[in-house]
Amino acid sequence: MLQLGDLYSCSVLRTFPELVTAGTMQKGAFLTFNAIRLLLNKIWGVVDSEPPESSLLTIISTIGNSKCIITTLYKALLEGICTTLPNVKARWDAVLPTPLSQETWITALTTIKSVSRNPRLRYTQFNYLHQSYLSPARIQKIYPHTTPTCPRCATPAADFYHMVWECQTINLAWQHVTEVTAEISSHTLVPTPDSCLLGIRHRTKAGKHTHRFIDLGFVVHKRLIATHWKAPHAPSYASWLRELCSRSQAEAQTLRSLQHRGLNLAGLETWDTFVVAMEARDDMYPP
Ligand SMILES: [Zn+2]
């Protein structure tokens, strides 16, 4: 089983080709390697030095042969990193119509934990807040022979904000997703980058579970955008709705099992209402 220490040699994080040659990682595991490298760098800045002893290493060494090593790793990391990091807020301030107050930014950071119970969706929210996905413009700075244009609209210098918000096809998809999320949740929503990307909704009276549903709807769309990063079109609306419905069913199921154990029962009715509303739609499986 892969241990964090296996990735290091003489206190320096080994490169991916080195790990493949040594048989430590498989050729197809580059994305996993990159995700671990990115998180290590963000947390400790330790790509070129050994990580300090921490509970994380204890967690990794006690996972055993679990298949959930990456999920467990994400969860442990995300729970320890809801503090603000240098330059991250500044990147958003540079592109948003209005700069964020410190208080609003802290609210945005809390969404990493609140968007979903699912560690992968939390990690997606983390990557959006930190603008971690490499845009064509950023890749071109590293590899000058690549093209910095948007794969969807051919905008000449496609940065992260363009890829997740400004690009016309993506923006239209956001409008549609927001409109349907508003219909299902019976809550007025305006498609703004603050609300859709950062989870900030000003002066709202929606209940906690309605908020969680809206956050879930948006983060599912964000994950689809990320998984269709180089596609020539935006992710399909129907796949978003199916995914949201399935995750909402799972949420209702979790609340139901908690209820059976005599624990928390708040919100179950709300989630059931959302699931019924989605299942009644005729656009989940288009002809
Ligand atoms: Zn574009």
Q: pLDDT, tens digit, for every residue of 2-22?
A: 667 777 776 677 888 888 998
The answer to whether residue 65 scores a pLDDT higher than 70 is no
Average model confidence (pLDDT) across the chain: 83
- How high is the pLDDT of residue 62? 53
The answer to whether residue 130 scores a pLDDT higher than 60 is yes
In angstroms, what is the span from residue 192 Cα to ligand 1's centroid? 17
The answer to whether residue 82 scores a pLDDT higher than 50 is no
- How high is the pLDDT of residue 73? 64
In angstroms, what is the span from residue 161 Cα to ligand 1's centroid? 10
Q: At what angle do helices 237-260 and 168-185 cross, to 10 degrees?
A: 40
Range with lowest mean pLDDT among 100-114, 153-167, 211-225: 100-114
pLDDT tens digits, residue range 159-176? 999 999 999 999 999 999
Residues, CB-to-ion distance under 5 Å, ligand 1: 150, 152-153, 155, 167
pLDDT band at 112 (very low <50, low <70, confident <90, very high): confident
The answer to whether residue 53 scores a pLDDT higher than 50 is no
Q: How far apart are CA 184 and CA 214, in angstroms?
A: 9
In angstroms, what is the span from residue 223 Cα to ligand 1's centroid? 17
In angstroms, what is the span from residue 60 Cα to ligand 1's centroid? 40
The answer to whether residue 42 scores a pLDDT higher than 70 is no
